[in-house]
Amino acid sequence: GENVEQHPSTLSVQEGDSAVIKCTYSDSASNYFPWYKQELGKRPQLIIDIRSNVGEKKDQRIAVTLNKTAKHFSLHITETQPEDSAVYFCAAMMSGGSNYKLTFGKGTLLTVNP
Amino acid sequence: DADVTQTPRNRITKTGKRIMLECSQTKGHDRMYWYRQDPGLGLRLIYYSFDVKDINKGEISDGYSVSRQAQAKFSLSLESAIPNQTALYFCATSEDTNTGELFFGEGSRLTVL
């Protein structure tokens, strides 16, 4: 089955700096890669996703890049703000087929220091 | 606003007790899921259901069962709770596509003593 490795497990940055979280996946058939953000005591929420037919996607201060050859994808947050502090989860799945197989990474705790 | 609601939000129980966590949604989604969250282990899928007559095991279904009572309701049961089932449990829904966004409930924190 799919295995998703996420690094680092914790990340601390100064406000205004950039943050990068990296994930690798094992199944070359995976073609959908979402990122979820979970603030302390809250539910996870989708912040951005990317499909394997594109290499990069941006939404304001966040971007995701995908390298299918190397089987890794990354979340980039620029000009970090204290409200970016949260746990971030990457995930991977193969969107075709009859079985649902969205596999999450173990999460990265991002702390943005004012 | 359409939402996903879980009850109870917090529960403390003893080893061997039967526990049911309930989930209801007003999003009109056919697909519903139960996930378990443990510190440092991410989100792991327990069971999922694509419609009322469809139940599927996830990666960690042992010790759990589910019931899809209606399109809007999906409950998770622990027949005989054990301490390593202490965790935060999330119900989620999505539209009818494998790449649909997951909409999570607020979570149910279960402690098994």
Give the pLDDT confidence of A17-63 residue by residue, as tens digits: 999 999 999 999 899 999 999 999 999 999 999 998 889 999 999 99
Average pLDDT, chain A: 93
In chain B, at which residue ranges do the beta strands (DSSP E only) sit?
A: 4-7, 10-13, 19-25, 31-38, 42-49, 56-57, 65-70, 73-78, 87-94, 103-104, 108-112
pLDDT at B37: 97
pLDDT at A97: 64
How many Å lie between the alpha carbon of B98 and the closest alpha carbon of chain A? 5
**Facing B104 at nearest CB: one of A43, A97, A99:** A43
Rounded to whole angstroms, how far apart are CA atoms A98 and B93?
17
Counting residues of chain B whose pLDDT is more than 70, the rounded percentage is 100
**Facing B90 at nearest CB: one of A9, A43, A46:** A43
- pLDDT per residue over B3-56, tens digit each? 999 999 999 999 999 999 999 999 999 999 999 999 888 999 999 999 998 999
Counting residues of chain A whose pLDDT is more than 70, the rounded percentage is 96
pLDDT at B110: 98
CA distances from B43 to A79, B30, B52, B108 (A): 28, 21, 24, 14
- pLDDT per residue over B55-105, tens digit each? 999 999 999 999 999 999 999 999 999 999 999 999 999 987 777 899 999
Rounded to whole angstroms, how far apart are CA atoms A24 and B44?
17
pLDDT at B58: 92
Beta pairing, strands A86-92 & A103-104: antiparallel
Question: Which two tokens mark B40?
Answer: 């440092």
CA distances from A36 to A39, A108, B73 (A): 10, 11, 24
pLDDT at B91: 98
Would you say residue A98 has pLDDT above 70?
no
Chain B residues contacting A via beta carbons under 8 Å: 40-45, 48, 50, 56, 59, 90, 97-99, 101-102, 104-107
